[in-house]
């Protein structure tokens, strides 16, 4: 999967998206000027290849690529706090928020949001923090499960992230090479639990560019131990494994982009992401063509199970009800 530079497709991007090796596109805030513009962009992408998966990060809180004209979603930490009040009396609201987020994304022409974040917030991570549902595995599982149910109601498959857990370290793997020195026992009792408990509700899982030296020297994205032995064979996850962006600093331990691709696929990734580095994306494409690489995941399985028209969504009383409640609570 690759990213795009602006609000519209350039000639070079049209050529790139015409290549059968490209499986999808991830959009960022720079690609969104208005809802109508976004819808047009998605239509143009699908006119090139209707099988391309169009993704975005619309988590809520500080990670919302869709803002003007869209519902202002709370962070998952805020949502979990409200849902936990009065002995979890408000927990069903998590399903409403999952439905609202997914409905607006699908109605804009996109297919998936890379959500929810299943990392535990252990009060250490600068990049996870309030993106997490919390620090207690049982609480995270219960609330995230309902959030996913809401996504599914709208027709969207969920993609949990960042396996096996990004919440235990301070550094941000976008800008640093990161190590977590906890033991396997510690991870099994905490970070791995949401991924394991929710495996059958997830269409995909995204990896973390973090190494756990006491367990395996490779970052999870390049680790057969984490992706093949644990995620596939121990947890029995059957969905699509996405790498996080291979252009992130945390993935630099893999070496050149071609070496990163080899390691990611060899470890068990089905789909790789290369963002914010067009030259690396082009180099990766040439490398994959020369070496007959093909993505091993069926991205069509992550297409929405139903279509939603924005005009119909605006008339849906549930959307009004959920937004009114959001405005009163947060």
How many residues appear in the chain?
330
Q: Is 244 in the active site?
A: yes
Query: How far apart are the C-alpha atoms of 174 and 179, rounded to whole Å?
Result: 13
Handedness of CA 226, 232, 236, 238 (dihedral sign): positive
Q: Is 149 labeled as catalytic in the residue annotation?
A: no
Catalytic site residue from 174, 216, 277, 316: 174
Where are any strands of DSSP class E within the chain?
Answer: 24-27, 53-56, 58-60, 63-64, 112-113, 158-163, 178-179, 202-207, 210-212, 216-219, 240-245, 271-273
Pick from 42, 38, 93: which is nearest to 66 by CA? 38
Strands (DSSP E) along 184-285, which ranges?
202-207, 210-212, 216-219, 240-245, 271-273
**Catalytic center residues:** 174, 244
């Amino acid at each position: 999967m690759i990213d795009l530079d602006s609000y519209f497709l350039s000639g070079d991007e049209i050529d790139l998206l015409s290549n059968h090796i490209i499986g999808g596109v991830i959009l960022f805030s720079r690609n969104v000027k208005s809802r109508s513009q976004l819808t047009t962009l998605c239509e143009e992408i699908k006119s090139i290849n209707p099988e391309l998966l169009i993704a975005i990060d619309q988590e809520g809180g500080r990670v919302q690529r869709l803002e003007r004209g869209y519902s202002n979603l709370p962070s998952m930490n805020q949502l979990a706090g409200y849902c936990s009040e009065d002995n979890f009396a408000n927990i069903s609201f998590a399903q409403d928020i999952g439905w609202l987020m997914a409905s607006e994304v699908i109605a804009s022409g996109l297919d998936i949001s890379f959500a929810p974040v299943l990392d535990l917030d252990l009060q250490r991570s600068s990049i996870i923090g309030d993106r997490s549902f919390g620090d207690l595995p049982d609480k995270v599982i219960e609330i995230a499960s309902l959030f996913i149910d809401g996504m599914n109601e709208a027709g969207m498959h969920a993609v949990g992230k960042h396996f096996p857990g990004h919440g235990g370290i301070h550094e941000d793997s976008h800008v640093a090479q990161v190590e977590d020195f906890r033991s396997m026992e510690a991870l099994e009792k905490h970070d791995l639990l949401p991924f394991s408990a929710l495996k059958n509700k997830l269409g995909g899982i995204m990896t973390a560019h973090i190494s756990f030296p006491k367990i395996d020297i490779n970052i999870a994205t390049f680790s057969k131990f984490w992706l093949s032995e644990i995620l596939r064979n121990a947890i029995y996850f059957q969905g699509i494994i996405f790498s996080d962006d291979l252009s992130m600093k945390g993935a630099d331990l893999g070496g050149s982009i071609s070496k990163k691709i080899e390691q990611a696929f060899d470890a068990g990734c089905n789909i790789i992401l290369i963002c914010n580095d067009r030259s690396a994306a082009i180099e990766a494409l040439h490398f994959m063509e020369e070496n007959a690489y093909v993505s091993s995941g069926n991205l069509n399985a992550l297409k929405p199970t139903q279509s939603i028209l924005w005009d119909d969504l605006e008339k849906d009383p549930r959307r009004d009800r959920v937004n009114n409640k959001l405005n009163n609570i947060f």
